[in-house]
Amino acid sequence: MRVAVVGASGAVGQEFLQVLEQRRFPITELRLFGSERSAGKSASFAGRNINISKLSADAFKGIDFAFFSAGKTVSREYCPLAAKAGAVAIDNSSAFRMDPEVPLAVPEINGDQIARHQGIISVPNCTAIILCMAIWPLHRASRIARVVVSTYQAVSGAGARALTELHDQTVEVIRGRPAAPQILPHPIAFNLFSHNTAIGPDGYNEEETKVIQETRRIMSEPKLALTATCIRVPIPRAHSESINLTFEGSLSESAAREALAKAPGVQLVDDRVGNKFPMPADASGGDDVLVGRIRTDASQPAGKGLDLFACGDQLRKGAALNGVQIAEFLMKARK
């Protein structure tokens, strides 16, 4: 396969390269593209240094898969060009996520959508992917009527420079100096705040709106009742989510555990005696979404609701891994 990675020096771009290498994706040619700032630099892949070129209209000639993670402005312009050149554009930006012509794909959940693509496939928002991975097996076991989710989102979700800011600011604060935010709007060292996206007229920020809309699309439940509160926490990597569910009927704790234990891409971490549950430190760098703290919600009639807690690496399953899995799904379908 001839592969292009657009946004190769970004946090997700770097992760695309790692995941492609780790999964031994069958690459015969690899082209890397970046912004003017990154062009001329190089990135390492399988022990080789590969130059990063400036993106151009003819970049995708002969390419099979083009992985995009360079923001929605780049995607809006270049994904259609990639598709026109015969490549499948797998886009990690929000550019086409709500486009009914473009599949919004999580292979474990709506793989059937992937084959219907017309050259572009969207990777959903990271928080939405992790949420869907945790609740889809439960939804299949017993229909979910309502979701209330509060998030604990890692800083690398805001990009590589935000991650550096967390590190540098933490060092400053430990040295007794004030935190001086530059990338994120508020101090992030030893602090947390409402997600750094604009607030809409309904009071939800853009991240929350994505979680709500994309979860509905991924699960093909356009009317699913869902509310989200998205919070940025001083964690380098892996998002966590506190999830409260209401079922149309009911679902027991044990049935929920059973459904999650056999769900692909999910790892049950639910040790009440050892007080061991999903943590971002354990989810970081891994492929699985960790799910635990499963318990019957005491605020609802017995069995009608569940509480749970999930962690997933938002750069892997929340972005690059999910993108590569989409390509793998397509390759398998072609065979």
- The catalytic residues are 126, 239
The whole-angstrom separation of Cα 106 and Cα 112 is: 10
Tokens of 98: 């709500």
From CA 72, how far away is CA 59, in angstroms rounded?
A: 18
Residue number with CB closer to its own copies (179 or 331): 179
**CB-wise, 253 or 287, nearer to its own copies?**
253
Q: Which of 53, 150, 164, 252 binds its own copies (CB under 8 A)?
A: 150
Q: Are strands 2-6 and 29-34 parallel, antiparallel or unpaired?
A: parallel
**Residue 244 in the binding site for its own copies (CB under 8 A):** yes
**Using the rule CB under 8 A, is 135 a contact of its own copies?**
no
Stretches 63-71, 93-101, 104-112, 297-305: which one binds its own copies (CB under 8 A)?
297-305
Query: How far apart are CB 226 and its own copies at their closest, in Å?
Result: 5
Measured from the CB atom, the residue of 7 and 280 that comes closer to its own copies is 280
Work out the end-to-end distance of the chain between its first and last CA atoms, rounded to an integer number of angstroms: 14
Q: Check residue 186 for interaction with its own copies (CB under 8 A).
A: yes
How big is the site for its own copies, counted in residues (CB under 8 A)?
59
- Contact flag: residue 247 with its own copies (CB under 8 A): no
Q: CB atoms < 10 A from the CB of 262, how many? A: 10
Q: Give me the 155-174 binding string for its own copies, x by CB under 8 A, dash otherwise.
A: ------------x--xx--x
188 contacts 267 by C-beta, under 8 angstroms: no
Task: Write down the least CB distance from residue 242 to its own copies, Å.
Answer: 4
Residues 6+ apart with CB under 8 A from 29: 2, 3, 62
CA–CA distance, 206 with 77 (Å, rounded to integer): 22
Member of 58, 100, 298, 334 binding its own copies (CB under 8 A) = 298
Counting contacts by CB under 8 A, is residue 262 touching its own copies?
Answer: no
Q: Quote the tokens at residue 7.
A: 């946004």
Cα gap 325→223, rounded to integer Å: 27
What is the Cβ-side half-sphere exposure of residue 34, based on CA atoms within 13 angstroms?
20
280 binds its own copies (CB under 8 A): yes
Cβ atoms of 43 and 70 closer than 8 Å: no
Say if residue 192 is exposed, middle or buried (CB neighbours under 10 Å; 0-12, 13-18, 19+).
middle
Which one-letter amino acid corresponds to residue 17? Answer: L
Selected from 103, 119, 305, 318, the binder of its own copies by CB under 8 A is 305
Among 2, 72, 161, 293, contact with its own copies (rule: CB under 8 A): 293
Chain contacts with its own copies (rule: CB under 8 A): 146-148, 150, 152, 167, 170-171, 174, 179, 185-187, 190-194, 196, 198-199, 202-205, 212, 225-227, 229, 231, 233-236, 240, 242, 244, 253, 272-273, 275-277, 279-281, 292-300, 305, 307, 309
